[in-house]
Amino acid sequence: MIQKITLKLLPAEAADETTIKKYIASSLQIKFSSIDGFQILKKSIDARGKIIFINLTLNAFIDAPSSSLVLGNELLAVSDFQFKNVEHSKKSVIIIGAGPAGIFAALMLLEKGIKPIILERGKDVRARRRDLAKLNKEGIINPESNYCFGEGGAGTYSDGKLYTRSNKRGDIDRILNLFIHFGAPKNIAYDAHPHIGTNKLPQIITAMHEQIKQCGGQVLFEKKVVDFILNNKKIDAVKTTNGDLFSADAYILATGHSARDIFELLHKKNILIEPKPFAMGVRIEHPQNLIDKIQYRCSIERDEYLPPASYSLVQQVNGRGVFSFCMCPGGIIAPAATNMGELVVNGWSPSKRNNSFANSGMVVQVEKIDAIKELRLAGFDSIETLENDPFIFMKFQQLIEQKAFEAGGGNFVAPAQRMLDFVDKKISSSLPKNSYLPGLNSVGLDSVLPPFIYNSLAEGFKAFGKKLKGYYTNEAVLVAVESRTSSPVRIPRNTDNLQHLQIQNLYPCAEGAGYAGGIVSAAMDGERVATQISNCF
Ligand SMILES: Cc1cc2nc3c(=O)[nH]c(=O)nc-3n(C[C@H](O)[C@H](O)[C@H](O)COP(=O)(O)OP(=O)(O)OC[C@H]3O[C@@H](n4cnc5c(N)ncnc54)[C@H](O)[C@@H]3O)c2cc1C
């Protein structure tokens, strides 16, 4: 018999199987010996009261084996995926971009018996790692191989947080289950805030790649798509940098939020794109121990059975949203630009989240009127021209990234300021120890950020200090600029058949097209598009 129950335990109790079984026995009023095992369905931390509890929802197996993985209310075998051999499939799909969207689209196509051919501008995960080391250590960027471009896309050397605001539970479970199938730890299936970590993601991505190849699909690296060969409102072929042409029955465009050249190519080819508002700000870093003390109300160290604490903050400042974004407990701030002369920061963390800093994006919503104002001040076109420019947000994004690069002084050294100094408009006389490897330069960030972002952040920080006592401190450092929060361009598609509004066999997909944000939602959109294509064939 399987019985679903919930338990509220202390952190040490929730970490011990025998203790959990004892609680199951007493809760169900049965003998300890009749519990064959249990499967955790949901695990969350309740840190609201004086005592911190772990809430567990689990299936207890009473006089029954517990060999299957349980997700939701269903029993799912982990290997319940039917990847078909597609080597001789009559239908093929070209997927541009090997990010989460591209890879999950390819896996779905295998299940549908359709051959995927992935064209990726960057390198495989191993070769990519060397380029990242060069970027962090020497400040030299490879524009085709960096934190955004390469196998696994922006998701590979990321934090690997796997939560999404989407509430399509069935789809989310499928994505998590696929990650587990390819080697992710099983706890991602039940943790309230699942996370994989940068050290584990590359092997998982490689396993997915191997699966695609074994089934007769193709994953081709250093194949940057630079042209679409159009014929009568359809794509006939795509061309890569070295002049190779690739043709298929359909084309999934999953190139992510940083492929500015793809947005420009679409525009040049008169393929409709639209401006899309996004958010911009800074990455903030505190000592992890300070965040633990605030969130767990401990005086020295957090309980050894609790994970490094995180936070999520949001505040309206003069009608504008200021919010934390992609918080990385025990993490590292990374240089996430794709070009020389532009500076972008983001964050990641290892699976154990055992670095001594906690970082998070802290961003402000950018509207069209803000972008126009800043671009005009910087000497760009007339208001009328900017009003109709699909690149208005992209140009604004690039402008601030260039300012940040210059303010840092080159080689991806980032401009930075302590938090209270930022609010007081005072250049910091020193900067705290931090995780950003290329180095920080003490700068007044009002020389980088437009006033509407600067002032909103300053007000936001003061408000966050009231919500989390100790958060508003000069121990925290702000690093500019957090600018790739989502795509600054939308590639519009038909809501029913998911095809581009003008090009029949082109399927704009996931984050770059403006239909996803984050690993899980990008993966879900990849699957959705692949399923739609299969339905059309
Ligand atoms: C450092 C960092 C940490 C992050 N942490 C998290 C996190 O913890 N959780 C989370 O949910 N999200 C996180 N994100 C965001 C997440 O990675 C993205 O939302 C997600 O990867 C988007 O998936 P995608 O497939 O749409 O695009 P991408 O992952 O951007 O993939 C696009 C791919 O297309 C390729 N490409 C681009 N142009 C071309 C071309 N012309 N020809 C061929 N290939 C091309 C790129 O090289 C890239 O591999 C993080 C991002 C970064 C940079």
Task: Single out the residue of 275, 223, 213 nearest to residue 246, CA to CA.
Answer: 223
Residue 65's pLDDT band (cuts 50, 70, 90): low
Residue 161's CB: how many other CB atoms inside 10 A? 21
Residue 159's pLDDT band (cuts 50, 70, 90): confident
The Å distance, Cα 148 to ligand 1 centre, comes to: 5
**Predicted confidence (pLDDT) at residue 366 exceeds the cutoff of 50:** yes
Nearest CA to ligand 1 atom 33: 97
**What is the radius of gyration, based on Cα positions, of the chain?**
24
Percent over 90 (pLDDT), the chain: 87
Q: Which atom of ligand 1 is nearest to the CA of 103?
A: 25
Q: Would the CB of 512 count as within 6 Å of ligand 1?
A: yes
Angstrom distance (rounded) from CA 244 to CA 408: 39
108, 214 Cβ separation under 8 angstroms: no
69, 180 Cβ separation under 8 angstroms: yes
Q: Which atom of ligand 1 is nearest to the CA of 224?
A: 42
Minimum mean pLDDT among 46-60, 95-109, 168-182, 205-219: which range? 168-182
Minimum mean pLDDT among 65-69, 299-303, 401-405: which range? 65-69
Mean pLDDT of 210-216: 98
**Predicted confidence (pLDDT) at residue 151 exceeds the cutoff of 50:** yes
519, 103 Cβ separation under 8 angstroms: no
Angstrom distance (rounded) from CA 486 to CA 478: 20
Indicate the top mutation candidate among 117, 246, 255 to test ligand 1's pocket, ranked by most ligand atoms within 8 A of CB: 255
The Å distance, Cα 153 to ligand 1 centre, comes to: 4
Q: Would the CB of 131 count as within 6 Å of ligand 1?
A: no
State how far the alpha carbon of 285 is from the alpha carbons of 118, 123, 175, 445, 477, in Å.
Answer: 37, 30, 30, 15, 5
Residue 76's pLDDT band (cuts 50, 70, 90): very low
Q: Would the CB of 103 count as within 6 Å of ligand 1?
A: no
**HSE-CB for 210 with a 13 A CA cutoff:** 10
Q: Would the CB of 102 count as within 6 Å of ligand 1?
A: yes
What are 247-276's pLDDT values in tens digits? 999 999 999 999 999 999 999 999 999 999
**Predicted confidence (pLDDT) at residue 77 exceeds the cutoff of 90:** no
What are 281-318's pLDDT values in tens digits? 999 999 999 999 999 999 889 999 999 999 999 999 98
Q: Would the CB of 488 count as within 6 Å of ligand 1?
A: no
**Predicted confidence (pLDDT) at residue 68 exceeds the cutoff of 70:** no
Residue 29's CB: how many other CB atoms inside 10 A? 6
Query: Tokens 């409102």, residue?
Result: 233
User: For the chain, how far is it from start to end, CA to CA, in angstroms?
Assistant: 44
Nearest CA to ligand 1 atom 26: 511
**Predicted confidence (pLDDT) at residue 278 exceeds the cutoff of 80:** yes
Amino acid at 507: Y
The Å distance, Cα 89 to ligand 1 centre, comes to: 29
pLDDT, greater one: 371 or 37: 371
What are 91-129's pLDDT values in tens digits? 999 999 999 999 999 999 999 999 999 999 999 999 999
Mean pLDDT of the chain: 94
Q: What is the pTM of this model?
A: 0.94
Nearest CA to ligand 1 atom 48: 153
Phi, psi of 188 (to 5 degrees): -65, -20
**Which helix (H) or strand (E) is 511 found in, with range?**
helix 510-513
Q: What domains are defined for the chain? A: 2-67 (3.30.70), 92-274+489-536 (3.50.50.60), 279-482 (no CATH)
Indicate the top mutation candidate among 158, 481, 484, 527 to test ligand 1's pocket, ranked by most ligand atoms within 8 A of CB: 158
Task: Single out the residue of 122, 93, 120 nearest to residue 108, CA to CA.
Answer: 93
Q: Which atom of ligand 1 is nearest to the CA of 164?
A: 11
Which tokens in the block code for residue 195?
A: 């996370």
- In this prediction, residue 170 carries a pLDDT of 61
Q: Would the CB of 153 count as within 6 Å of ligand 1?
A: yes
Residue 163's pLDDT band (cuts 50, 70, 90): confident
**Predicted confidence (pLDDT) at residue 165 exceeds the cutoff of 80:** no
Q: Would the CB of 348 count as within 6 Å of ligand 1?
A: yes
**Predicted confidence (pLDDT) at residue 33 exceeds the cutoff of 50:** yes
Q: Which atom of ligand 1 is nearest to the CA of 519?
A: 11
Indicate the top mutation candidate among 95, 103, 326 to test ligand 1's pocket, ranked by most ligand atoms within 8 A of CB: 326
Mean pLDDT of 337-359: 95
Minimum mean pLDDT among 21-25, 59-63, 459-463: which range? 59-63
Angstrom distance (rounded) from CA 100 to CA 178: 12
246, 118 Cβ separation under 8 angstroms: no
The Å distance, Cα 293 to ligand 1 centre, comes to: 33
The Å distance, Cα 92 to ligand 1 centre, comes to: 23
3-state secondary structure of 166: coil
Residue 242's pLDDT band (cuts 50, 70, 90): very high
Mean pLDDT of 152-160: 90
Indicate the top mutation candidate among 94, 103, 119, 121 to test ligand 1's pocket, ranked by most ligand atoms within 8 A of CB: 121
Spell 455-466 as b/e; 16+ CB within 10 A means b: bbbbbbbeebbe
Q: Would the CB of 362 count as within 6 Å of ligand 1?
A: no
Residue 168's pLDDT band (cuts 50, 70, 90): low
Q: Would the CB of 333 count as within 6 Å of ligand 1?
A: no
Q: Which atom of ligand 1 is nearest to the CA of 261?
A: 41
Task: Single out the residue of 514, 537, 524, 535 nearest to residue 253, CA to CA.
Answer: 514
Nearest CA to ligand 1 atom 2: 158
List the helix and strand counts (H, then E) for the chain: 15, 24
Edge to edge, what strands does the sheet with 245-246 contain? 225-231, 234-240, 245-246
Q: Which atom of ligand 1 is nearest to the CA of 517?
A: 19
Q: Which atom of ligand 1 is nearest to the CA of 513?
A: 26
The Å distance, Cα 458 to ligand 1 centre, comes to: 30
**Predicted confidence (pLDDT) at residue 160 exceeds the cutoff of 90:** no
- In this prediction, residue 73 carries a pLDDT of 39
The Å distance, Cα 501 to ligand 1 centre, comes to: 24
Which tokens in the block code for residue 346?
A: 């983001």
3-state secondary structure of 533: helix
Query: Tokens 């970027």, residue?
Result: 135
Q: Which atom of ligand 1 is nearest to the CA of 122?
A: 47
Nearest CA to ligand 1 atom 3: 158
The Å distance, Cα 26 to ligand 1 centre, comes to: 47
The Å distance, Cα 510 to ligand 1 centre, comes to: 10
